[in-house]
Structure 1
Amino acid sequence: MTVTAVRPARAADRPAHRDPNVLRWLGAYTSSAMGDSVYFIALSWAAVRAGTPAEAGLVTAVGAVPRALLMLGGGVVADRYGPRRVVIGSSTVRCALVVAAALLLLCASPGLWVLAVVAVLFGVVDAVFLPAAGALPARITTPAQLARVQGMRGLATRLATVLGGPLGGLGVALGGTAGAFGLAALLIGLSLPVLPTLRVAALPEDARRARNGALVELRDGFRQIRRKPVLRVLVLVIALSDLGFVGPMNLGLTLLSQQRGWGSSGMGWVLAGFGIGAGTASLLLAVRGRLPHAGAALAASEIAGAVAIGGFGQVPTVAAGTGVALLIGLLAGLGGALSGALVQATADPAYVGRVTAVSTLVSFGVAPLTFPLIGAAVERWGTGPVFAGCAGVCALGGLLALGSAPLRQAELPH
């Protein structure tokens, strides 16, 4: 499946890792992602200091609600006004919100409700930012480089995760929660001078002329998904994968570590294993640039990853858990990068924002809301059955991909 799009000036067939335009985007994306990591650490720390652990958990989770409710509208905004413009505007607002939180903490001791308001407002802006950020790579490079760009994006995400924790802790140690929020604002703000310098491919003339009501444009986005066989199945595969993956590999991992007596250090080793695996998959795509039989590889990675997730709930030791987590990271990183590249390569350029919003809705908006269900299920049945059930959901997505001839035979552009 290939897509005809207007290429950025002078992009031609230059590899993405040698394209200054892509490298500028990568720097801005990495800085912004690190700022996000530090922000969530600062928010969690401030909430824990202001209330009980349960109340702190509620504050940190409440930001997912507006993302779930508004993200589809955010995709419409990204397509209507262009992903670069929307990323610049939403990043500016995100930076201002975090600065305001830092000033509040510096001048007073705000209650939990103030932190909850900050989290909700940040989630509202995220609902616009995330679809635009996901749609931007398709407009700054050629279709043949999408897989490599997704690999580079995965590496940046892993780097932000690895460095975000220590930076957030350093910010808290040196300046308290206000200092951590200030550091998050600085990292997000560093992307702002870079984003306007990006060269973005223009849309076809007929797409630029199309301006309808928001609901009509949202409906057109769903119609785009329905009329393309690859997208129709791929969106369901991504949703099932995220629904089965996010819960057990976040809250489920913490609960498993507690039940096994691994402690924080053991969980750290497991997380390191997952990060190394995901980083290796991203590096593979960044170096190779393209994998043949992308649809079949996606299906295979989803099914194998589901088996690994099911087995992870049975591991008895930290060493075994680290090894299985490395395998999960490798398979999840590969599947995630391939699915993202296929979404952007298959969707028409004018619809990438809306399709991205639909495909990432479960991961960023719905899946975090399942954490209370995961916790209750683990309390009642234990980690093994819950991991097995979540693995079944992931496996269903892989089998769906394997059983769909258009998706199974899909290829990334040369």
Structure 2
Amino acid sequence: MTTTVIPPAVRPSAGPAHRDGNVLRWLGAYTASMIGDNVFYIALSWAAVRSGTPSQAGLVMAVSAVPRALLMLGGGVVADRFGPRRVVIGSDAVRCAAVLTVAALLFVAHPGLWLLALLAVVFGIVDAVFMPAVGALPARVTGRDQLARVQGMRGLAVRFANVVGAPLGGLGVALGGSATAFALAGLLIAVSVPLLISVRMRETPPDGGANTANTANTANTANIADTATAGVEAAGVEAVGPPGDPDGAPARGDASGPHARVPDAEDGAPAVPERPATAWRDLRDGLRYIRGHRVLAPLIVTIALGDLGFVGPLNVGLALLADRRGWGASGMGLVVAAFGAGAGAAALLLAWRGTLPRAGSAGAAALLGGSVAIGALAQVPGVGAAVGVALAIGLLAGLSGALCGALLQTQSDPAYLGRVTAVAGIVSLGLAPLSMPLTAAAIGWWGTGPVFAGSAVVCGLGGVVALAVRDLRRAELPR
């Protein structure tokens, strides 16, 4: 009897990401969630200031960072195990319920700082799984050739949320106090849930089609798969792979995923299943995967150095610089706006073009140029010149960040993308903010010029690493 095997239908390309309804639904959900986050932090800060001393309010605002930093690696494991869409939907549902509950309590009572601190801790815990899942989701909603464009669209959404969220939060506080602002934040986060439910997940090959730079690891995985298949076929059993998870989680037992079957080391022995996968084992596999990848490992180092050199000067350092130069709050606002405009222009460029040639080299060059501009910001005398320099910083740093983010997406095996995003997120959200108090103390000791110059050197080292590592320097985005 002859059996005809009909290959599965391949979904036709949906065209550019900015015209793909699936991507636009994801973008709408992401934007609503980010605006809700901005409104939430305005409401939290206002409620904390009204309920306690300034130091207590600062503690409430900072307490969410601790569980986020400590648990984010585990959050990456959760995102890869259960699929990023499920995790994002669940996270937004929990955040929405928590915020609306606090809003209801504030409408009827004044429970005090303990409730706000508890809410901040809950947000930090949920963020630890939410953020890696958010980073892993774009690779599931569009093709690899559109990931750079999606990264630009995501950057525009972040800028829009920053611009719109703070005024909305202030309006909510003005109309009905913190309770109204919390309710508004919860409703905005709630909007994202049905949109995310309507987003379709794409089928992706187990290796993501992106791991060409990691030839040694790919070859080893292929050898394992071939050996296992040969052992099964020798026993006269048809080798049938398990179906993939429709939500994007890697199929268990997949020979090229993080839970691969490994053949026995003895000559001629059939393949045997490895020990049951655990969260700790998944975490170690993810860290080993990053460490052995010839593009991702130096890319994460580049991102870390760029963030460490950038966050301090452009946050607390800028306020101190404006105060010492006599620019005033309005002058500082103009500088911050110029930076935001530059970063928005970089995101718009990537969203429009969809890709840039020599992405690794271009990202490194932009990071080096941005580091020079950071050092120059402390040397300009007037507000007008500072606005021009800040515009350049935003453009160059925004371009570098978008390209690094797109390379992170396209170079990662989808089965590991949650863990890869978690490691990069720990650096950006856990380590980089620690530089802010150090920057303030250093400016008090040595002044703005030397500290900005030192930060520029740290930031520039990221560009040097990217140029020095051949595989990262030659990395390209798919076209």
Tell whether the structures are fold-level matches, with TM greater than 0.5: yes
Q: 1:277: which partner in 2?
A: 342
**Pairwise mapping of residues 10-409 of structure 1 onto structure 2 (< 5 A)?**
10=11, 12=13, 14-202=15-203, 204=206, 207-209=250-252, 210=259, 212-409=277-474
* Offset at residue 103 of structure 1 (A): 2.2
State, as a whole percentage, how many aligned pairs show the same letter: 65
Select the structure with the greater relative contact order (CA < 8 A; seq sep ≥ 6). 1
Contact 2:98 2:119 in 1 (8 A): yes
Deviates more, 1:228-237 or 1:381-390: 381-390
Contact 1:9 1:199 in 2 (8 A): no
* Offset at residue 317 of structure 1 (A): 2.2
Residues 116 and 353 (structure 1), Cα distance of their counterparts in 2 relative to 1, 3 Å cut: same
Residues 380 and 51 (structure 1), Cα distance of their counterparts in 2 relative to 1, 3 Å cut: farther
TM-score (norm. length: structure 2) = 0.82
Counterpart residue identity of residue 83, structure 1: P
Counterpart residue identity of residue 385, structure 1: P
Residues 37 and 325 (structure 1), Cα distance of their counterparts in 2 relative to 1, 3 Å cut: same
Q: Which ranges of structure 2 fall in alignment gaps of 5 or more residues?
A: 1-7, 207-240, 243-249, 253-258, 260-275
Contact 1:11 1:141 in 2 (8 A): no
* Offset at residue 42 of structure 1 (A): 1.2
Counterpart residue identity of residue 410, structure 1: A
Per-residue Cα deviation, 1:14-60 (whole angstroms, up to 9, x for no partner): 11011110000010101101011111111111122223333322221
Counterpart residue identity of residue 102, structure 2: A
Residues 9 and 276 (structure 1), Cα distance of their counterparts in 2 relative to 1, 3 Å cut: farther
Per-residue Cα deviation, 1:140-180 (whole angstroms, up to 9, x for no partner): 10010010000000000000001111111111111111111
TM-score (norm. length: structure 1) = 0.94
Which structure's CA Rg is the greater one? 2
How far apart are the structure 2 equivalents of 1:11 and 1:171? 45
How far apart are the structure 2 equivalents of 1:48 and 1:316? 35
How far apart are the structure 1 equivalents of 2:120 and 2:68? 11
Q: 2:217: which partner in 1?
A: none
Contact 1:144 1:413 in 2 (8 A): yes
How far apart are the structure 2 equivalents of 1:385 and 1:109? 47
Aligned residues: 408
How far apart are the structure 2 equivalents of 1:292 and 1:13? 23
Counterpart residue identity of residue 145, structure 1: Q
Q: 2:227: which partner in 1?
A: none
How far apart are the structure 2 equivalents of 1:84 and 1:61? 28
Q: Which ranges of structure 1 fall in alignment gaps of 5 or more residues?
A: 1-6
* Offset at residue 9 of structure 1 (A): 6.8
How far apart are the structure 2 equivalents of 1:263 and 1:98? 35
4+ aligned runs moved over 4 Å, structure 1: none
* Offset at residue 243 of structure 1 (A): 1.4
More helix by share: 1
How far apart are the structure 2 equivalents of 1:48 and 1:374? 25
Per-residue Cα deviation, 1:228-249 (whole angstroms, up to 9, x for no partner): 2011100111111111112221
* Offset at residue 139 of structure 1 (A): 0.8
How far apart are the structure 1 equivalents of 2:105 and 2:305? 40
Q: 1:4: which partner in 2?
A: none
Contact 1:8 1:200 in 2 (8 A): no
* Offset at residue 11 of structure 1 (A): 5.4
Contact 1:64 1:368 in 2 (8 A): no
Residues 59 and 313 (structure 1), Cα distance of their counterparts in 2 relative to 1, 3 Å cut: farther
How far apart are the structure 1 equivalents of 2:12 and 2:113? 49
How far apart are the structure 2 equivalents of 1:11 and 1:387? 50
Counterpart residue identity of residue 24, structure 2: L
* Offset at residue 359 of structure 1 (A): 1.2
Residues 62 and 300 (structure 1), Cα distance of their counterparts in 2 relative to 1, 3 Å cut: same
Counterpart residue identity of residue 241, structure 1: G
How far apart are the structure 2 equivalents of 1:72 and 1:52? 34
Per-residue Cα deviation, 1:58-106 (whole angstroms, up to 9, x for no partner): 2212211111111111000000000000000001111112112222322
Counterpart residue identity of residue 146, structure 1: L
* Offset at residue 370 of structure 1 (A): 3.2
Contact 1:231 1:343 in 2 (8 A): yes
Q: Please provide the CA RMSD for this pair.
A: 1.8
